[in-house]
Structure formats: C-alpha cells, structure tokens
Structure 1
C-alpha cells in the first residue's frame, strides 16, 4: 500500500494559508525515531519537503507472527532480501524521516515472504533479560 496521497495531503495542508499546520505538527518525530534514523536509516536521493535538507532517510520496520521476538525491528534492504526466503509472511512498513527537522511519514507498507508457514524462531536471551 502506498501512502503518497496521504503524504501529499499533509504537505498541501501545511502550505494552505488559511489552514496551515504548525511546524511542530509536521516535524513531530519521536526522539527514538530520530535516533534510529541517524544510525539505521538508508539515505534517499530526495530533499526534505519541509526544510529542504538533504538528510532524508528511510527506515524499514518488519512485523509478523513468524518473526517472533524480532518483530518490530528495523532491517536494511539487504536484510529484507535475505528474510524473504527465511519467513513465510511478514509486513514491512517504510517510514521516511528527516534527521534535521523531524519530519516523518509512513510512505509504504507491503508483505514479503515465501508463503510457507513456519514457527517463530526460539526466543534468544537479550541484554535486557540478562541485566534486567
């Protein structure tokens, strides 16, 4: 599913003089989202639609029952290519984020996988489990 119309509508609302949105409403990225974008984002050849900075990145979040404890994590495009043959079905949500001003918008959502139903991987202990 492509969210281009929703993005375009949000940007058009910001440019309308009679009902313009405040920049705090447009650039409202959570600090954790900004940190993830700085360290895990994949650079895009587009400028930010709000501040025109060249710091626009995409984050690929993966969700699915077959992913087990790995559901909700950020994966690179190369990792998605590998995962496509390792899991039956999972959803990828792509979010664009400007690390300069905080603009963020989900731009697409799609399913990946090979269609073979599998059990989730065994739960591995995490740092939180070990150190509390």
Structure 2
C-alpha cells in the first residue's frame, strides 16, 4: 500500500474546502498539510458524507441528535492522506432525517 495514494477528488476537496493542519506533512515535509471534516449519520439523511467546516460543525451540534465526524489529513503536494480523528457530536435528542431536497444530480442525472 502506498501512503501517498490520495484520490484526485480528495486532493481537490482539500484545496477548496480544507483548513491548515498547523504541522508539516510527515512524508514530504510540505507546509500545505490540510484537514477535512467529513460527517456521517442516519439523522443527516442525504447530507451524510459531506464536508463541513469547524464553524458548521458547531452549528450542527445543536440541530442533530448524533452524527460522526471523521477528520482526514491530506497533503496536496505528495498525496499523503490519513484518518487522524473520529468523534461524535450532537445534542442527544433523536430526530428524523431532514426531508430529501432535490439536487443538481437529481435534475441532470
């Protein structure tokens, strides 16, 4: 297994939606190491699996009973990627998933 095998979409997501890791890449020593927060959970409905900022996570904590956050670090220079942290957020109140909203994918396939 190659530790520097990041999918091109993961690297692109890191460049556009990530935030600085405040440390250098452990493989190539680049200072562009980036973190992404992925959210997962039954109560999120179609929004499960999306990328969210730290600010959005703080807002969501009071809107959903429970969801998991997986923090991945990605180096856009060498492709290093690694799951560094997993934790659960939410207010503990069980809720139904939000109603499915139509997306561009639904419209154009």
- State yes or no: 1:122 paired with 2:79: no
RMSD: 0.9
Moved over 4 A (4+): none
TM-score by length of 1: 0.81
User: Which structure 2 residue ranges, 5 or more long, are not aligned?
Assistant: none
- Can you list the C-alpha shifts for 1:17-57, whole angstroms capped at 9, x where unaligned? xxxxxxx7121101111111111111121010111111101
Secondary structure in 1 aligned to 2:98? coil
The count of corresponding residues between Structure 1 and Structure 2 is 109
Alignment of 1:1-132 (within 5 A): 25-132=2-109
Aligned mates of 2:47, 2:13 — CA distance in 1: 16
Query: TM-score, normalization: structure 2?
Result: 0.97
Determine the C-alpha separation between the residues in 2 that align with 1:61 and 1:44: 15
- Based on CA coordinates, which of the two structures has the bigger radius of gyration? 1
